[in-house]
Amino acid sequence: MEWFLEARWSPYAAGIGIGVLSWLTFLLSDKPIGCSTAFARTSGMIEKIFRGEKVDLKPYYQQFKPVVDWEWMLVLGIVPGAFISAVLSSDFHWQWIPGAWAAAFGSVLWIRLLVALIGGVFLGLGSRWAGGCTSGHGISGTLQLALGSWLAAICFFIGGIGAAFLIYHVIGG
Amino acid sequence: MLTKLHEKNKLQLFFGFIAGLCFGLFLHKGGVTKYDVIIGQLLLKDFTVLKVMMSAVITGMVGIYAMKALGWVKLHPKPGSIGSSLLGGLLFGVGFATLGYCPGTVAGALGNGYLDAAVGIAGMLIGAGLYAAFFPKIKQSILSKGDFGDVTIPRLLKVNEWFVIIPLGILLFVLLKWIESKGL
C-alpha cells in the first residue's frame, strides 16, 4: 500500500488509472467522464435563488437543466478524492498563491485572485461554448475519436500555450 | 448493456460521486491539481499534463472500443462545429492559462488546499452564466458555422474503427517516447 501514500505517481500510472476509470463509467453508468456542465448547472441553480423558476425557461437551461446529475456528483467527488489523496501523502497544504506565479509576478494576493477570477470566467464561458473541457473533450471525446473533440482539444492547447506565453514571456518578461 | 443498472437514478448519482473520488485521486497522484504543473505544460517546460491525458486516451480508447465491439457499451460522441469547437476551444485555452486549472483539476486543486482555485470556480460560474445568457444570440449565427455533428474519425474516413485506433495508439505512444527522449 506504500504506493498509495506517495504524493506523485508516474503520470502514466495516473493516466492509465483514468483510462480504466472511463471503462467503468461507460460500462456501469453509460457516461463519459466530463466536468464542465456541472458548473453550468450550478450557475443556473444559483441564478434560480435570485430570479426564481423563470430561469428554467432559458433555452440553455432547457438543454442543461439546473439540477444535480451524475456529472455534477462526479465533480463534487473530485474535491474529497483529491483531498484524501493529498492528506494521505502529506501533500495537503493551504495555499493562496502558486509558486510559479509568485516567482514571476510576486506575492500580491489581490492580483493573483483577480487574474484567477478572470481566467475562471473565460474557462466557464469557453468550456460551454466548446461544449466540453479537458476531460469531456480532451480525454473522453478524443478517446471516442469524436472529430469535434479532437478539434476542441487541440484549440484548448493552442489558446492555452498562446495565453501562457503572453502572460509569462510578454507581460511578465 | 447493463441498461437496468443505468436506469437506477439514485444509485447512479452515488456511482458518479465514487467515480469523482477516483478521478480526484488520479488527478492528484498525476500532479495535475497543481498550478505549477499545468502552467509548466502550457509554457512547454513540463509535459506531465499531456502524459496523463495521452495515456488515459490510449487506455480508454482501446478498452471502450473493445467493449463496444462486445456490445457492452455505446459511444457518446459530442457534436461539434467550427464556430463551437474552434472558437470555444480557443476561449477555453485563454482561461486554462489564466486560471492555471481546468474544470476538473480546479476541483482537485481545491481538495489539495489551493485557494486561488476557489476564486477560479466563482469565475467559472459567472462565465457559464454569461454563456447561458448569450446562448440564444450565438446559437444560429456562430455555433452553427461549419457544423459537422457528432461524427467520429472512423465514420468520417469510412474505415473500420481499428484502422484508426491502432495507428493513433501507436502515434500517441511514439509521441510520448519522443517527449521522454527530450527529457521533458
- The 10s digit of each residue's pLDDT in A141-159 is 999 999 999 999 999 999 9
pLDDT confidence bin for B144, thresholds 50/70/90: very high
Segment holding B149, helix H or strand E: strand B147-149
- Whether A135 sits inside 8 A of B40 (CB atoms) is no
Grid cell, residue B48, equals 506531465
How close B77 comes to chain A (CA, Å)?
A: 5
- Please determine, for residue A173, whether its predicted confidence score (pLDDT) is greater than 90: no
| pLDDT, tens digit, 9 for 90 and up, residues B56-92 | 999 999 999 999 999 999 999 999 999 999 999 999 9
Question: Do residues B16 and A75 make contact, with C-beta atoms less than 8 angstroms apart?
Answer: no
Task: Name the percent of chain A lying above pLDDT 90.
Answer: 95
Nearest residue of A to residue B65 by CA position?
Answer: A144
pLDDT for the residue numbered B123: 98
Secondary structure (H, E, C), A146-166: EHHHHHHHHHHHHHHHHHHHH
Q: In terms of Cα–Cα distance, which of B3, B21, B28, B23 is closest to B114?
A: B28
Q: In terms of Cα–Cα distance, which of B132, B53, B131, B51 is closest to B91?
A: B131
- Put simply, the chain A residues between 134 and 153 with a CB less than 8 A from any chain B CB are 134-153
Q: Which residues on neighbouring strands pair with residue A95, listed in sequence order?
A: B114
- Please determine, for residue A1, whether its predicted confidence score (pLDDT) is greater than 80: no
- Whether A148 sits inside 8 A of B121 (CB atoms) is no
pLDDT for the residue numbered A119: 98
Distance between CA B53 and CA B159 in Å, rounded? 25
E strand intervals along A22-169: none
How close B182 comes to chain A (CA, Å)?
A: 16
- Whether B102 sits inside 8 A of A123 (CB atoms) is yes
| pLDDT, tens digit, 9 for 90 and up, residues A64-107 | 999 999 999 999 999 999 999 999 999 999 999 999 999 999 99
Residues of chain B contacting A126 with CB distance shorter than 8 Å: 88-95, 127
Distance between CA A86 and CA B33 in Å, rounded? 10
Question: Do residues A63 and B132 make contact, with C-beta atoms less than 8 angstroms apart?
Answer: no
The SS3 of residue B45 is coil
- Please determine, for residue A23, whether its predicted confidence score (pLDDT) is greater than 80: yes
- Residue B4 has φ and ψ, to the nearest 5°, of -60, -40
ipTM over 0.90? The verdict is yes
Backbone region of residue A121 per phi and psi (left: phi > 0; alpha: psi in -120 to 50; beta: other values): alpha
| Side-chain half-sphere exposure of B41, counting CA atoms within 13 A | 26
pLDDT confidence bin for B1, thresholds 50/70/90: confident
Task: Name the percent of chain B lying above pLDDT 90.
Answer: 99
- Please determine, for residue A164, whether its predicted confidence score (pLDDT) is greater than 80: yes
Nearest to B132 among A11, A60, A116 (CB): A60
pTM exceeds 0.95, yes or no: yes
